Amino acid sequence: MIVDRAIYVDGRRAEVPDPVEDTYEACRRRGGMAWIGLYEPDEEEFSSVAGEFGLHPLAVEDAVHAHQRPKLEKYGDTYFVVLKTARYVDETETVEFGEIHVFVGEDFVVTVRHGEASALRGVRERLEGDPELLRRGPASILYAIMDRVVDDYGPVVDGLENDIDEIETEVFGGSPHVSRRIYELSREVVEFHRATRPLAGVLERMLSDGGPPLDVELKRYMRDVHDHALRTNEQIEGFRELISNILNVNLTLVSVEQNDEVKKISAWAAILFAPTVIAGIYGMNFDRMPELHWNFGYPFALALMLCISGVLYALFRRRGWL
């Protein structure tokens, strides 16, 4: 569905013709810039927009079906940028991912958003409140979108950091479900890293004039976004290393706990083995057998069992097996 569409003339919003097919013509006639925003469109919904602005079929297919990695591609005079969005859900302590696909032409921008993260209404309002920035053309819209996406990584980083702190506490607290949580968190961090790592390369390419034309001021803004993206990558790499260390510590603690259980089982088996041997010997009922007809034979056998078991218990207790 089309969420919003507008024509901007001299940095300010102008009237938009009702049929979307007339948007581009009205934009060229007024010497302005068009920005059409869509949310999870199907092929039929997107076909009219793609035809109006002459978008490449391969890029249109990527934008409709999503599941792309961050990238920057050029089709003729149109640039196609894919961004991975993320948001931290406090209720479930999980990270949700989405995508924003941006088509940037000489006088138009088409955005296609998938998922709930990084809604663009606030970006549009910010730009409409800053005509000076909006006058810099379609690249200014691309900058504002990328800035919003990278800024939204901040709460995700904070949420993951808090989860890691909680897991550290659970590991040393002996929680029985911590191994599963470590695995789930590790997968989220890996997926988050896949979403953010290529973005630094996309920004570097744009700063080296491999993307839409940027004036001096926009390049300064893009460098700031690039710095934030690099910082996010460094934090995520630190998370991956920290989770790996936590997993190793957890495996060590589990192994130690299992060894303790094995020691306890072995110790009790040895303690019970001694009376069993004595009872087995005295239960043979041979005619010629020491103490067989002794009046104190039965008490002696019981006392021997208790004595050996007590000695073994004391030894295992001293060695920390019990």
Burial class of residue 309 in the structure, from the number of CB atoms within 10 Å of its CB (0-12 exposed, 13-18 middle, 19+ buried): middle
At 298 the pLDDT is 66
Paired with 241 in beta bridges are none
Integer Cα distance of 53 and 108 in angstroms: 8
Secondary structure (3-state) at 297? helix
CB 61 within 8 A of CB 34: no
At 263 the pLDDT is 66
Amino acid at 7: I
- Convert the pLDDT of each residue in 167-182 to its tens digit: 878 777 766 677 778 8
At 291 the pLDDT is 63
Paired with 255 in beta bridges are none
Whole-prediction pTM: 0.76
Using CA of residue 245, residue 179, residue 175, residue 194, what is the dihedral sign? positive
- Low-confidence residues in the chain, pLDDT < 70: 17-22, 24, 174-176, 250, 253-263, 271, 278, 281-298, 300, 321-322
CB 181 within 8 A of CB 224: no
In the sheet with 33-39, reading across from the earlier edge strand, the strands are 12-14, 2-9, 33-39, 108-114, 94-104, 78-89, 71-75
- Convert the pLDDT of each residue in 93-134 to its tens digit: 888 898 999 999 888 889 898 887 778 888 888 888 888 888
User: Left if phi > 0, otherwise alpha if psi is -120 to 50, otherwise beta: which for 90?
Assistant: alpha
At 25 the pLDDT is 72
CB 116 within 8 A of CB 191: no
At 124 the pLDDT is 87
Integer Cα distance of 134 and 25 in angstroms: 20
φ, ψ for residue 16 (rounded to 5)?
-115, 135
At 101 the pLDDT is 92
Share of the chain above pLDDT 70, in %: 83
User: Left if phi > 0, otherwise alpha if psi is -120 to 50, otherwise beta: which for 11?
Assistant: left
Other CB atoms within 10 A of residue 213 CB: 14
321 DSSP assignment: -
CB 275 within 8 A of CB 309: yes
- Convert the pLDDT of each residue in 49-69 to its tens digit: 888 778 888 888 888 887 888
Strand-strand pairing, 33-39 and 108-114: parallel
Nearest to 138 by CA among 152, 126, 125, 127: 127
